[in-house]
Amino acid sequence: MNPYRAISQPLASANPQDLALLPALETYQRGLPADAYTKFDYWERERQTVFSHYWVCVGIASDVPNPGDVYPTEVAGSPIVVVRDRNPSPSSATSPLRAFHNICRHRGLQLVDSPCNVSGNLRCPYHSWTYRLDGSLKHTPHFGGYYQDSHSGFARDRNGLIHIRCEQWIDLVFVNLSGDAPPLSDYLQPVSERWSVYDLNLLRRESREITLQCNANWKLATENFSESYHLSWVHPSLNSCSRMEDHFNFDVGAPHVGQGSLVYKSGVLAGRSLPTFPNLAAIKKQTVAEYITVFPNLMLGIHPDYFLVFLANPLSPDKTAERMVFYFVGDDAMTSENKALRHLPIDLWNVTNDEDIAMIERMQVGRQSPGFDGGCFSPVLEQTVYRFQQAVAKAISQ
Ligand code: FES
Ligand SMILES: [Fe+2]
């Protein structure tokens, strides 16, 4: 079987070796059972494995640009808080990012409930325990009796905020709850290598972003992002500029999966278009868009003129919060006269998301049926979804 037959036309002008195409599946494979999308037991197992032992993207570093900035978020329902400390680290001029479990060590109150900047320390509103931005416990008022800040036998140094391993890649903040994952740079190496021709230092963040909530399991959102098989029927406007047949699946190294399109047209308004990454013509990427699903729940898209970050944050087995953040290429892209151009892809993603969510939520409904047997995958067009599900199955069995 020719694995490229379904996408033979555009690939005739591209070198499959350059694209590192994923080979077709050798047999028809079945998917994860319905319980993986509906049951709390499975969700709990995912929280202990997928969302604990792997790096998980939890937010955007430029959401906490200044010392004292604090940003509460969560990892599959576990509350955490990202903090920009006030003291620069010895190895760099910038103030370090820290992440903690977002709970007061006294009686477990959620310490921070909204993004803010703290001028001094983090203070719990319940009994006013106070923590420095490095997480250490500073004050425990009246803990040892009226006007006694402490009590014999109370180990202040063992009751600071609980640190979580935290690292940054471009503008993305990742945490590893278990603390035993390989270094983030190793984990993301297939991604940074694949996209090494793009100068990601040129990325500039757009203030407009997209936030959504969908009534479906987080895996359905990532699976949907990983295949283009549905394009013709679900996304007529997208399909008119980049057809299903223009897409290809590529090997980006487990547990991540990738797909792309050989046809991408930058938006044009009044004869103007946005700046693109340099040297794309020389490396034959001037019309190529690529998408990588970074295991487990981060989706990235690179286009000649913009970069997409798509976070699928699991809230429960059947609820997912989605956030899309957009970056454009260089300072010239960010001028006010380019605002309408920057909004073109965001508008298109708004339409695309609505179309996708309608399908995703109906797949969630379908998983309530005793007739659902895991479904099956196109061996040629849905290897990415199969590989993603295999990565989940492997992770939860560890
Ligand atoms: S729960 Fe935070 S001070 Fe009591
Ligand atoms: Fe879609």
Q: pLDDT digits over 218-249, tens only?
A: 999 999 999 999 999 999 888 777 888 899 99
**Pair 123, 40 in one domain:** no
Instruction: Please tell me the distance between residue 284's alpha carbon and the centre of ligand 2 in angstroms.
Output: 25
Q: Decide if pLDDT at 29 tops 80.
A: yes
Q: Decide if pLDDT at 394 tops 60.
A: yes
pLDDT mean over 340-367: 97
- Answer whether 98's CB lies under 8 Å from 149's CB: no
Question: What is the CATH number for 67?
Answer: 2.102.10.10
pLDDT mean over 338-358: 96
**Is 81 within the bounds of a domain?**
yes
**Pair 208, 346 in one domain:** yes
pLDDT at 3: 30
**Pair 41, 104 in one domain:** no
- Answer whether 119's CB lies under 8 Å from 133's CB: no
The C-alpha atoms of residue 239 and residue 81 are separated, in whole angstroms, by 40
Q: Up-side HSE of residue 174: CA atoms within 13 Å toward CB?
A: 25
**Is 182 within the bounds of a domain?**
no
To test the ligand 1 pocket, which listed residue (81, 105, 109) has its Cβ within 8 A of the most ligand atoms? 109
> Based on the structure, what is the number of domains in the chain?
2
pLDDT at 21: 78
Q: Cβ(126) to ligand 1 under 6 A?
A: yes
Q: Decide if pLDDT at 259 tops 50.
A: yes
Identify the DSSP state of 95: P
User: Environment class of residue 14 by beta-carbon count within 10 Å: exposed (0-12), middle (13-18) or buried (19+)?
Assistant: middle
Give the pLDDT band (50/70/90) at residue 17. Answer: low
Give the pLDDT band (50/70/90) at residue 12. Answer: very low
**Pair 280, 336 in one domain:** yes
**Pair 264, 286 in one domain:** yes
Q: Decide if pLDDT at 82 tops 90.
A: yes
Q: Cβ(107) to ligand 1 under 6 A?
A: yes
**Is 318 within the bounds of a domain?**
yes
**Pair 266, 375 in one domain:** yes
Q: Report in angstroms the alpha-carbon separations of 318 from 8, 40, 73, 252, 333.
A: 38, 10, 19, 29, 38
The domain containing residue 66 runs over which residues? 56-176
Instruction: Please tell me the distance between residue 296's alpha carbon and the centre of ligand 2 in angstroms.
Output: 18
pLDDT at 255: 95
